[in-house]
Structure 1
Amino acid sequence: MKDILIITNYFPPETGAASNRMLHLAEGLQKHHFKVSVITPLPNYPTGKVFKAYKGRFKHTSKENKLTIHRLWIYASNSKNKLLRLIAMLSYSFSLVWFFTWNKIPKTVIVQSPPLLVAFTAMVFLRSKKRKLILNVSDLWPIAGLELGALKKNFSYRVLENIEHFNYKHTDLVLGQSEEILSHVQSLFPNKATFLYRNFPDFDAPKVCLKNTSTRKLKMVYAGLLGVAQGIYKLCQALDYTNIQLHIYGAGAEQNAIENLIKKHPNLDIVYHGELSRNALHNALIQYDITIIPLLNRIYGSVPSKIFEYARLGIPMLYFGGGEGEKLIEQYNLGWIAEAGNYRDLNAVISKIESSELGLNKRKEIQETAIKNFEFNIQLMSLFEKL
């Protein structure tokens, strides 16, 4: 049985695509006879506060579904203050160095990036000719930060760029969630080994269902992080509610602003449901006519994992984010596309969606496409050849 360590900034009981992605990877490896251990911070996302059950601890180790989980101390913060965010990352890096010093580390290590500093810490302290380091890149930082407006091209940006290049240089294999990520890495290091590792979900596809849509508004749903990158607050303000009702699930930085908007403007046909567990969310989502996947700005390298998850649920999608995600919606006929950032076009696209296009056959077609093309275990078996 081969030992393998996963280092990640996000892991259950935290919610969201990032934690689910790393859990699926860990459990998938374990089911195929790897002895898997995980290093992650004490749970704190997205609240920026360590969860009650873990407060006051420097380290918490547990055995969960045959996985060994080491949760390490972090100065938790979700503040917009860049200094506080930096301190949070440095604190987790400090905990990693402490763990590396006092514990035996397996010969194969998968490191999640971003955050860049966490990946950098692992690359610096775990470099060894006898150890294989694998970098799992889900977003291209600092490029994504620049496109989101969170970073500017200055000295700090150049430092982050150097850290990014160092990480790519000293890893043995780069796993990228998009073709754009792999192209970027190979533009810098043409001989670097890469592998396209999409964020495919790992759950049994439910039976598709359908409610009558002919005599009511189109029920559109958004589920996920209510953060700046998703732009849900702006979306709420820009939508034309003549023929739609928007339902929202999730939590994040924009939650209070969205709730206040709903209170002040009851004429907006918006329903906020709060946050649900993943299984409960799946049961809720399949009741809606269509789901929307927005990004405030097109982010190079980003492919929302919601595409693959919703496809497996058989839900038609409206994609509003540009980039590679847009190409996937078109290629696999998963729904509709509106020009990224163009809310007039978004409303125009919505107005043209007919209830006849949202029928049971369409849902079955989407789900069958997902089962055929977005299969987690087939992808995992291909990855084994690289480990």
Structure 2
Amino acid sequence: MQEILIITSYYPPESGAASNRIHHLAEGLSKKDFKVSVITPLPNYPTGRIFKKYRGTFKKTSVENGIKVHRLWLYASNSKNKVLRLFAMISYSLSLVCFFITNKVPNTVIVQSPPLLVAFTSMLFLKRKKRNLILNVSDLWPIAGLELGAFKKNFSYGLLEKIERINYKRADVILGQSEEILAHVTSIFPGKETVLYRNYPDFKPPSLSDTGDRSNKIKIVYAGLLGIAQGIHKLCENLVYDNIEFHIYGGGAEQLKIEEFIEANPNLPIIYHGSVSRDELHSALMRYDVTIIPLLNRIYGSVPSKIFEYARLGLPMLYFGGGEGEGIIESCELGWIAESSNYQDLNKVIASINHQDFSFERRLQIQNRALSDFDFNAQLNLLADRIKIEA
């Protein structure tokens, strides 16, 4: 049985797209007769504090659904202070090096990027040990950080670009979750082997039913991270509420601002439901008419995994983020597109939506499209075959 090690900064019981993505990959490969192990930090996201169950230890190893999971110590922090965040990444990188020195590492290793520094540590150390390295690039850093306003073009940014290029150079194969990511990689290293590996979900699709129970107002829902990049607070400020209700699920940096806005504007039909488990969320989402997928600014290389997850639920989508995601929504007929960062256009699109647009037939059409076009197992089979060839 071929062994594979996955190195990631996020893994359950942490929530979010990054955690779910790697979890599905690990369990999927395990079902394909690979012996899978995972290295990840002690759980701390998104609170920035190590979860209570895992405190007081430098390492915890467990077997979860046949996968050996090594949880390593780090200095946990979600501070906006760049020095503290850098120290958190360095601490995890040091824990990785200690693990590499004291443990046998399989010949095939999948490394998640970003964070760049964690990926760099893994690529630098393991390449010297002649391991087959597969770099899984889910977002383009530092470009995404520049577009989000987290970085400026200075010496530090130039250093991050060099680290990014070293990571690409040392990888034997690069997985990218978007065509834009692969185009970026091949623009730097034209001969690099790349594979498009989308963030398709792996869960049993719900059976849809025609309840016919719809209120006069359109119920729009957002579920996910309440971070700066998503811009949910600004969305609350700019939506026109004449014919809609806005429901919010999740947690993150903007949670307090959103709660304060709702409290200061009790006349607006905005309901914050807090954070719930993924299974609870899937059940809850079936009660809404439309889900909105926003990005405060268009991020090159980013394709929100929510597109594929919500399509499997048969939920019509309003996409407000620009980039490659627009093409997927449009070509697969999954919903509506509003011009990125243009709130006037967003409200115009919302005003054009009617109840027939999210009928039972429409939802079924979306779900069937997801089952045919966003097949996790078909994609995984191709990746598994590629890994066996590279071994």
CA distance, structure 2, for counterparts of residue 51 and residue 93 of structure 1: 20
Letter in 2 for 1:13: P
Matched, 1:149 2:149: yes
Q: Does the 8 Å contact 2:32/2:384 carry over to 1? A: no
Letter in 1 for 2:282: H
Query: Which residue number in structure 2 is paired with residue 112 of structure 1?
Result: 112
SS at match of 1:40: strand
Q: Which moved more, 1:329-338 or 1:127-136?
A: 127-136
CA distance, structure 2, for counterparts of residue 267 and residue 149 of structure 1: 33
Query: Which residue number in structure 2 is paired with residue 33 of structure 1?
Result: 33
Q: Does the 8 Å contact 2:10/2:18 carry over to 1? A: yes
Shift of 1:130: 4.0
Letter in 1 for 2:8: T
Matched, 1:373 2:373: yes
Shift of 1:213: 6.0
Query: Which residue number in structure 2 is paired with residue 347 of structure 1?
Result: 347
CA distance, structure 2, for counterparts of residue 210 and residue 287 of structure 1: 12
Query: Which residue number in structure 1 is paired with residue 179 of structure 2?
Result: 179
Q: Which moved more, 1:178-187 or 1:258-267?
A: 258-267
CA distance, structure 2, for counterparts of residue 268 and residue 95 of structure 1: 48
CA distance, structure 1, for counterparts of residue 114 and residue 269 of structure 2: 36
Query: Which residue number in structure 2 is paired with residue 67 of structure 1?
Result: 67
Query: Which residue number in structure 2 is paired with residue 230 of structure 1?
Result: 230
CA distance, structure 2, for counterparts of residue 152 and residue 130 of structure 1: 35
Q: Does the 8 Å contact 1:13/1:43 carry over to 2? A: yes
Query: Which residue number in structure 1 is paired with residue 299 of structure 2?
Result: 299
Cα RMSD between the aligned structures? 0.9
Query: Which residue number in structure 2 is paired with residue 2 of structure 1?
Result: 2
Query: Which residue number in structure 1 is paired with residue 287 of structure 2?
Result: 287
Letter in 1 for 2:87: I
Letter in 2 for 1:53: K
Letter in 2 for 1:43: P
Matched, 1:163 2:163: yes
User: 1:35/1:215 Cα in 2 relative to 1: closer, same or farther (>3 Å)?
Assistant: closer
CA distance, structure 1, for counterparts of residue 214 and residue 228 of structure 2: 35
CA distance, structure 1, for counterparts of residue 214 and residue 83 of structure 2: 52
Q: How many residues align?
A: 387
Correspondences of 1:42-121 after superposition (within 5 Å): 42-121=42-121
SS at match of 1:19: helix
Correspondences of 1:256-335 after superposition (within 5 Å): 256-335=256-335
Q: Does the 8 Å contact 1:209/1:286 carry over to 2? A: no
CA distance, structure 2, for counterparts of residue 213 and residue 291 of structure 1: 18
Letter in 1 for 2:27: E
Letter in 2 for 1:229: A
Query: Which residue number in structure 1 is paired with residue 19 of structure 2?
Result: 19
Q: Which moved more, 1:260-269 or 1:337-346?
A: 260-269
SS at match of 1:5: strand
The TM-score normalised by the length of structure 2 is 0.98
Query: Which residue number in structure 1 is paired with residue 124 of structure 2?
Result: 124
SS at match of 1:385: helix
Letter in 2 for 1:360: F
Letter in 2 for 1:38: V
Query: Which residue number in structure 1 is paired with residue 246 of structure 2?
Result: 246
Q: Does the 8 Å contact 1:293/1:317 carry over to 2? A: yes
CA distance, structure 2, for counterparts of residue 168 and residue 196 of structure 1: 15
Per-residue Cα deviation, 1:206-227 (whole angstroms, up to 9, x for no partner): 1123444654210000000000
Shift of 1:232: 0.4
Per-residue Cα deviation, 1:287-315 (whole angstroms, up to 9, x for no partner): 10000000000000000000000000000
CA distance, structure 2, for counterparts of residue 272 and residue 211 of structure 1: 25
The TM-score normalised by the length of structure 1 is 0.99
Shift of 1:175: 0.2
SS at match of 1:307: helix
Shift of 1:128: 4.1
Shift of 1:384: 1.4
Shift of 1:140: 0.1
Letter in 2 for 1:330: E
Q: Does the 8 Å contact 1:329/1:336 carry over to 2? A: yes
| TM superposition outliers: structure 1 runs of 4+ over 4 Å | none
Runs of 5+ unmatched residues, structure 1: none
Shift of 1:286: 1.0
Q: Does the 8 Å contact 1:221/1:285 carry over to 2? A: yes
SS at match of 2:386: coil
Shift of 1:356: 1.0
CA distance, structure 1, for counterparts of residue 246 and residue 19 of structure 2: 26
Shift of 1:237: 0.6
Runs of 5+ unmatched residues, structure 2: none
SS at match of 1:74: coil
